Amino acid sequence: MERPQITREFLAAVPKTDLHLHLDGSVRLATLIELSREAKVKLPSDTEAGLRELVFKDTYADLVEYLAGFGLTGKVMQTREQLERISYELAVDNQREGVRYVEVRFAPQLHAHGAFDMVEVLQAVSDGLERAKREFNAREQVRAQQEPPFEFGIIACAMRFFNERFSDYYRDFVSLHRYSHPDRNYSLASEQVVQAAAIARRERGLPVVGVDLAGPEEGYPPADHRDAYLEAQRNFLQKTVHAGEAYGPESIFQAITELHADRIGHGTSLLNPDAVRDPAILDKQRYVDELTQFIADRRVTLEVCLTSNQQTNPAYRRLEDHPFGEMMRRKLSVTICTDNRTVSNTTVTDELLKAVTTFGLSLRQLKNLIVYGFKRSFFPGLYAEKRIYVRSAMEYFERLQLQHFPDLDG
């Protein structure tokens, strides 16, 4: 039988996840413009088209240009009301394209100041997401269990590197620890983020499901944050790490073995022996093969962001050169994510369509890709509840599959 054509319509309809989704990279442009006016923040343009031309582009020269937009969005994410609104709108945008589970990640320390501490920041974001969840799940189809509900988790991001200009929190932190060794400061700051996440979860019952480590990889190895990740483990928080995006496979290995990462953000250098930098590794091909097997055996999931990688790494301008295809061939646990919906001008549907059309995924491969997103999520409920939720999502997928491909056997 001829392979069925997977359409955008089908991809938009099926239940999806986004496990690597930065809040500050996913602010609606209309909201950014409105909030900037209220906060008297000067933007390069006061129109969405102008911002798309000048800042939030389809293609970027380099990572520095890609990150420029975050300097603008962060300025309108400094109050409870701003964070609640932006979080609410992000959830709604996901719901409109069939995304049923999101894990929203952000660095609460970039938005904390004065009495508005990190726990309060986490509370504000949770409140916005919760409102969108409550409204969506009140729909008749969801209440009748004809469709899976919308759920979410929150991931608190620590930073590999920072200075006093990053935020009020970091200004105060650097002033307090100005005579300490910088590496130790990075670890101490990460521990404070983890502790805030643990308090928000334990004392307030917020769905803070895990921690992340973001920022420049070169010169700022994961091992510097070992104590923070041990603190996360002691508090039963799950762990993901940006690794192998701007450094070699050694960064991925260290994230897994030193920080006990459950998932890896990006991981694009995993299969590239030429990216290995450690001179002690003589057989680079063997190293990446063994590391890949190590990851496969432990089902460590790779959070792949195709468009973002295209925009920040010239090696993937031609998407066919992205390692996602080889990851699939090696049957690694992979999930497709957006990274930043606004900065990368993308959606989960867009990302899946790119994966399907560029790498020739079959319907079965697509289904496996989507189920990994649900199964490898840091779902905030009990494991038994997660199993039921995953099953409901995949049953809904199968019903839509029958509607779109009625002549398909099996």
Which residues are tagged catalytic? 245
Residue pair 49/29 in contact (Cβ under 8 Å)? The answer is: no
Using the structure block, give the residue that is written with the tokens 């510097």: 224
User: Sign of torsion, CA 291 217 312 99?
Assistant: positive
Q: How far apart are CA 81 and CA 95, in angstroms?
A: 21
Question: Is residue 291 within 8 Å of 243, Cβ to Cβ?
Answer: no
DSSP state of 214: E
Q: Quote the tokens at residue 320.
A: 């066919």
Instruction: Round to whole Å and give the CA distance between 14 and 348.
Output: 11
Structure-token pair, residue 132? 């969108």
Q: Given the structure tokens 């002691």, which residue do they identify?
A: 234
Residue 309 amino acid letter: N
- Contact present, 202 and 141 (Cβ < 8 Å): no
**Residue 18: enclosing H or E segment and its boundaries?**
strand 16-22
Partners of 210 in the beta sheet?
155, 238
**Torsion angles phi and psi, residue 196, rounded to 5:** -65, -40
Report how far apart, in Å, the C-alpha atoms of 70 and of each of 55, 230, 232, 362 are.
Answer: 10, 29, 26, 36
CA-based angle 264:253:220, to the nearest 5? 80
Give 320-329 contacts, CB < 8 A, sequence gap 24+: 320/358, 320/359, 322/268, 322/358, 323/268, 323/270, 323/271, 323/272, 324/355, 324/359, 325/358, 325/359, 326/271, 327/270, 327/271, 327/302, 328/359, 328/361, 328/365, 328/369
For 203, the token pair is: 């004392």
